[in-house]
Amino acid sequence: MNRVWQAYFGTGLVSMSEDLGTQSEMPSHAELLDWLACEFMDRGWSLKAMHRLIVGSATYRQSSRGSPGLYARDPYNRLLARGPRFRVEAEIVRDIALASSGLLNRKLGGPSVYAPAPGLPLPTPCELCPLPLEGGDRS
């Protein structure tokens, strides 16, 4: 459940999502982590149910804006007093731009497509990659 929480809030209840052993730091909200694990079992090990539970929570739905005093008291938001700030991945930004310009091809599969960039002196992908060395020597 720590990884699911981390996907929504940017940081897990235990900061290292790979290591929940005795040498990791203690969870910021141990009771919440235990409760989420019990809910996961009670809901038939359904990730979909857990996603709905987290997205419907007041913690997830709160604003990411906070007062200066709140930022000073909890700069990393470990107390969950404000909502997380979301960053959008580059691929999503690209897809949004292509969709809004009408250039997005919704067909799945096939070779990669590079959108036209008129008026911009951008190198082609082949120009960005060096030619492979002969004989397999990479030094």
For 33-86, the pLDDT digits (tens) are 999 999 999 999 999 999 999 999 999 898 888 888 888 998 888 888 888 777
- Band the pLDDT of 119: cuts 50, 70, 90: low
The pLDDT assigned to 135 comes to: 53
Of the two residues 35 and 25, the one the predictor is more confident about is: 35
Average per-residue pLDDT in the chain? 82
Tell me the torsion sign for CA atoms 49, 50, 55, 56. positive
Q: Treating both helix axes as pointing N-terminal to C-terminal, what angle do 47-55 and 30-42 enclose, rounded to 10 degrees? A: 130
Identify the burial level of 109 via C-beta atoms within 10 angstroms of its C-beta, where 0-12 means exposed, 13-18 middle and 19 or more buried.
exposed
What is the distance between the alpha carbons of residues 54 and 38, in angstroms, rounded to a whole number?
Answer: 14
